[in-house]
Structure 1
């Protein structure tokens, strides 16, 4: 099997995202001596673990096209400055003017939300994988950390790693990547960013466009940006008539608003089931609609008060509804309509609907690699995302874009111990990007990828590491590859999973499997997580 190194040491790398994946990637790239710039559209690091009381704007009903994601990328030259004004900050981090006066207004807050939509983190988010294995080799959790932690503890841990390893110093905050394309000669990535900067009144917040060139591009933008909204008959009309009463799980923050109400949660994944748990005993009645999917949380893991029901067929508004009813509808008044399930059951007297059916894979800053019309089975050898938004196509080992491996991804696999998995992916990425490990020839990468498609099929299951042994095997394959290439170069070996780590994961998987299939679980131990 032929091998070839596509990279030379000392090159520049752009990293998109400052969650645990992006911080891991940047830290190891810096260790390998590369010049790194991290772009983060929020004003802090932390990714999914950063809690923001504000909620993102509504997504379209039904779902946004995968190419557009949760924000509308700008067009080149759309904003006032193609280069920063003379007195403009360049670090993109400051949220105050020179005198320390916060430049926050209602208009600027709205602009912030549209520019960098707040994430899916809710106040009660905790980890459901113990911190003893949900850990990065970049550093341990603080001494005395419990096995289960709150979102602010997880966020603090991630931000601590960023500062410790020099990632914070090379991160451009409040800076969103709107487009990344290869230069006309194909040698560089041209990364066009838009920065939200605060300037003294009357100028207020400004959007500043810049374009810079990099040799390499690493994407770590995460899974939880673009909510999936099903195309149920009548749902669009319900949302239009009562926008505050029909929301997606990404907009959920606390259970208080549901006190004494009847709510319908659509979806039985992690976030949908967490909302059912958090609202139990607060809401009057909680219904959870499921479609019988592969990863639906079993009903016995939910509070007994949650009523599990079948799949929704349609939403029906009462004929008597007239314009203006939304404003006249009191908080305690149920929505004037009914929800019909596929089995014919009719729900009435519902106050709130929460849609929690997952997220769409989308990289809006790579528009030339996405198609909203091509079916997943027809992705071909070039496309990264197709019409269903269920997976990332044409990646070697879920990391390197096969047609041009100067583009790579961290965090594509899921149903895994994320902090540890991303750590290994980042080590491999850094070795390859620094020229200390070699990619196979393109034909060999294509052959390996097509074999995986044949084995796993296209769709959400393609990237799942849920099955016993799959995550450990995936990491072993990565580590063996770079160690094999590094040995002739005298590179230090990358250690794989420690034996104790593997044993603890096996115990956890066994416990979760027994709970999943009907043992009497400790529901709290299976608690909230978006890892």
Structure 2
């Protein structure tokens, strides 16, 4: 059997699961992960590994994806002004870097070293002449910082914020914990850190390294990367037999296109932000705040804003399909709901709505989700986005995992579920089974028929990829036949506890009202909280003496589920 190498794009939850799975797959196509009752500490590595080289490329300075160690620094609140006329285009707000000449000949040992210069051009709204932009934004436009704020806690119970082979620690099962059955983000980050350290996964992870281009050359994938090193970038290319796309779905913020919004942002700078950059509460104290969106991150933010803001308005299009309590929460006391925005007047700063009402706001937060984004493919044969936006579908994948054009290309993390860690594990195991030679994929016609049938049933949107906690087992059953020999079912034990998620939803609702009404202190939910938010007089007029109006925006529901 020939040597096989794998490149993994991303070292977040999906990339780490793929890395661990490949490391525990034997040359004969069997897995060392054979007992669902054990943890990773009980599984030996195979004597003869199926894959000779496995490299995970991570653009951040730490592994863990959105659960990497959080820092106070955030990405830009919104894209820079000169890009705002195409703010909903991922290729505009995250422009591609120009590859150095002859980079395909550069190696890890002998990279091409360049000074970090402009990586995009400034263009006016009329499409006139462009000029290079020089400044620190070159790194800001990578959108690589985490969206975690210091006092965040998870919204999925502890059992399901872990892979099946990670221990479900007793200390987190204490029902006297204020946030039971959830974890603080620091606790979940430690879970990942311990997992990486105990399994020496860091030996296979290259940090601060972004994948810039992936292209097939003969029977190999040529992966071109850029390693950030101070004020320089080290570019090189490397060949692999297989590539896993595991770059996540919570990196590139989605902001809808609204008439007048670009000019409004120019006249009223520092008013707009995306939820990804939400960090501290002080800037919202005694302000008129509009939060656009109707997903889980919306209620995450609103529960902290209501006690301190002058007023809080929520704008969303329709009901939340996954967590019904959100629909009642977003129309509860001191949260004003509204319909859709017709346009924004950039001169007066007024938001005009389709119902004829008008409102003004000090702060506007877009809690509108994220783009799927795969800029490293030079053509659209792979990972084609259907209906690009915050609810797009990734086309051309069999079981959300195998590329139909080239079976040596795969994905982990495309499936969306409250049991995300377990569905991630399922995709990773299926790739390991097929790529090790233990299992074979069906004919292309059968793969395409599966996709077409599901499109007919679910539609051409993010819902195509969605499996709730009760039917996540259906997804696992789809990929299970492709697992390595002897590999156990990841929901063999945990699947009997999916009702934990239902109980967790009830607990989330209680925490929401407790925090919103000031009956639960932030420090009770996360000891890292150092601030002292004060309730404000909601009946007082603002500094301009104006009353508070309500607004909403026509945005498709962006967040079916969190992790």
Q: Please, what TM-score do these two structures have when normalized by structure 2?
A: 0.74
Q: Distance in 1 between matches of 2:266 and 2:135?
A: 26
Match of 2:223 among 191, 199, 205: 191
- Give SS of 1:68's match: helix
Q: Report the CA distance between 1:87 and its aligned residue.
A: 9.4
- Give SS of 1:385's match: strand
Instruction: Choose 36-45 or 120-129, whichever is displaced more.
Output: 120-129
Q: Distance in 1 between matches of 2:19 and 2:514?
A: 32
2:248 aligns with 222
Q: Report the CA distance between 1:123 and its aligned residue.
A: 2.1
Q: Report the CA distance between 1:66 and its aligned residue.
A: 5.5
State yes or no: 1:315 paired with 2:344.
yes
- Give per-residue Cα distances to partners, 1:276-330, cap 9 Å, x unaligned: 1121201111100111155486342256322222222211134xxxxxxxxxxxx
Q: CA RMSD in A?
A: 3.1
Q: Report the CA distance between 1:29 and its aligned residue.
A: 0.8
Please tell me whether the aligned partners of residues 400 and 407 of structure 1 are also in contact (alpha carbons under 8 angstroms): yes
Q: Distance in 2 between matches of 1:69 and 1:530?
A: 26
Q: Distance in 1 between matches of 2:86 and 2:151?
A: 26
Please tell me whether the aligned partners of residues 22 and 220 of structure 1 are also in contact (alpha carbons under 8 angstroms): yes
Please tell me whether the aligned partners of residues 62 and 236 of structure 1 are also in contact (alpha carbons under 8 angstroms): yes
- Give per-residue Cα distances to partners, 1:318-346, cap 9 Å, x unaligned: 4xxxxxxxxxxxxxxxxx52112221221
2:140 aligns with 113
Q: Distance in 2 between matches of 1:150 and 1:9?
A: 45
Q: Report the CA distance between 1:464 and its aligned residue.
A: 1.2
Q: Distance in 1 between matches of 2:372 and 2:286?
A: 35
Q: Distance in 1 between matches of 2:479 and 2:160?
A: 19
Please tell me whether the aligned partners of residues 262 and 284 of structure 1 are also in contact (alpha carbons under 8 angstroms): yes
Matches within 5 A, 1:89-104: none
2:125 aligns with none
Q: 1:436 to 1:196 in 2, by over 3 A?
A: same
Runs of 4+ in 1 over 6 A off after TM superposition: 78-82, 84-90, 524-529
Instruction: Choose 27-36 or 80-89, whichever is displaced more.
Output: 80-89
1:394 aligns with 396
Please tell me whether the aligned partners of residues 103 and 237 of structure 2 are also in contact (alpha carbons under 8 angstroms): no
Q: Distance in 1 between matches of 2:286 and 2:275?
A: 19
User: How many residues of Structure 1 are paired with residues of Structure 2 in the alignment?
Assistant: 458
- Give per-residue Cα distances to partners, 1:386-426, cap 9 Å, x unaligned: 45241110111000111111111111011322222212221
Matches within 5 A, 1:96-245: 112-115=139-142, 117-146=144-173, 147-183=181-217, 185=218, 187-198=219-230, 205-245=231-271
Match of 2:489 among 485, 495, 502: 495
Q: Report the CA distance between 1:192 and its aligned residue.
A: 0.4
Q: Distance in 1 between matches of 2:199 and 2:163?
A: 12
Please tell me whether the aligned partners of residues 18 and 47 of structure 1 are also in contact (alpha carbons under 8 angstroms): yes
Matches within 5 A, 1:246-325: 246-292=272-318, 294-295=320-321, 298-302=326-330, 304-318=333-347
Q: Distance in 2 between matches of 1:252 and 1:217?
A: 33
* Structure 1: stretches of 5+ with no match in the other structure: 1-7, 91-106, 199-204, 319-335, 371-381
Q: Distance in 1 between matches of 2:380 and 2:438?
A: 28
Q: Distance in 2 between matches of 1:114 and 1:79?
A: 25
1:385 aligns with 385
Q: Distance in 1 between matches of 2:342 and 2:159?
A: 43
Q: Distance in 2 between matches of 1:498 and 1:369?
A: 37
Q: Distance in 1 between matches of 2:507 and 2:311?
A: 25
Q: Report the CA distance between 1:507 and its aligned residue.
A: 4.9
* Structure 2: stretches of 5+ with no match in the other structure: 26-48, 114-133, 174-180, 516-524, 527-560
Q: Distance in 1 between matches of 2:463 and 2:85?
A: 23
1:343 aligns with 355
Q: Distance in 2 between matches of 1:150 and 1:236?
A: 36
Q: Distance in 2 between matches of 1:364 and 1:456?
A: 26
Q: Please, what TM-score do these two structures have when normalized by structure 1?
A: 0.78
Q: Report the CA distance between 1:194 and its aligned residue.
A: 0.6
2:464 aligns with 462
Q: Report the CA distance between 1:463 and its aligned residue.
A: 0.8
- Give per-residue Cα distances to partners, 1:437-477, cap 9 Å, x unaligned: 211111111111111111111112111113x6321111123
Please tell me whether the aligned partners of residues 320 and 327 of structure 2 are also in contact (alpha carbons under 8 angstroms): no
Match of 1:37 among 42, 46, 55: 55
State yes or no: 1:55 paired with 2:78.
no
Instruction: Choose 338-347 or 258-267, whichever is displaced more.
Output: 338-347
Q: Report the CA distance between 1:28 and its aligned residue.
A: 0.8
